[in-house]
Amino acid sequence: MFYGFTPASRLMLGTAGYPSPALLRDAIAASGAGIITLSLRREGGEGAGFRDLLRASGCRLLPNTAGCHSAAEAITTARMARELLGTGWIKLEVIGHADSLQPDPFALLEAARVLCAEGFEVFPYMTEDLILGERLVEAGCRVLMPWGAPIGSGQGLRHAEALRAMRAHFPDVPLVIDAGIGAPSQAMRAMEMGFDAVLLNTAVARALDPVGMARAFGQAVEAGRLAHEAGLMPPRDMAVPSTPVLGMARLG
């Protein structure tokens, strides 16, 4: 699904902000996630112990360039991540707006072109911009990660119709909803719309019970995908009786 790798689950989980390493470990296990992300900046602060904890989970590691505000900074961070973690996978983030953490489309594309040319397998964090998506695919990105809403906001799919249009526009490109998911129902909705995976962090890490919330998200993502594959009932303008009128008994 993602650069030739098919994860065990369509839930991707971030690893920042957990109350303790033990809760992080247990939340990853409860979620069933097959891919987990980590910030190189956190990796540098936590050291080998944190890295060993993540590797022991059995999940595929997806390092990210969180906190970068320029193409040059993101490129350098990606190169460091590849050297430190031994993977060409990189979740590419280049932040352009300090308040909304909206990605900078110009710097994102610039960095993606350089990294793809260097053999990285890039997962770009982006808005639901169709033209930007096309340019990123042309640059060599084989996955796109549009946001649902600003990072950590919990607003869910703020521009649902734009995301539907993006799904229709890129039928053969894996699309991952990344950021803004605050409830399992929101993750389920994304999967019902046909997205290939959901990446989230804060909604689990900051929950009163991170392990229970991780389990809830894992089940929601699975249920949403099953519903999409089974074929959802389309909405109708009028009521349609579930019991046929023909053949009903007449009184009097």
Q: Which residues participate in catalysis according to the annotation?
A: 91
Q: Which are the contacts of 20, defined by CB distance < 8 A and separation ≥ 6?
A: none
Question: Annotated binding residue at 183?
Answer: no
Two tokens, residue 96: 């352009």
Distances (CA, A) of 138 to 24, 93, 132: 37, 18, 10
Q: Dihedral angle at the C-alpha atoms of 13, 19, 183, 150, nearest 10 degrees?
A: -70
Two tokens, residue 1: 């699904």
**Cα 122–Cα 127–Cα 130 angle in degrees, nearest 5:** 85
Mode of pairing for the β-strands spanning 145-146 and 121-126: parallel
Question: Annotated binding residue at 179?
Answer: yes
Question: Annotated binding residue at 180?
Answer: yes
**Contact of 175 with 167, CB cutoff 8 Å:** yes
Binding-site entries for 1-deoxy-D-xylulose 5-phosphate: 152, 179-180, 201-202
Feature table: binding site: 152, 179-180, 201-202
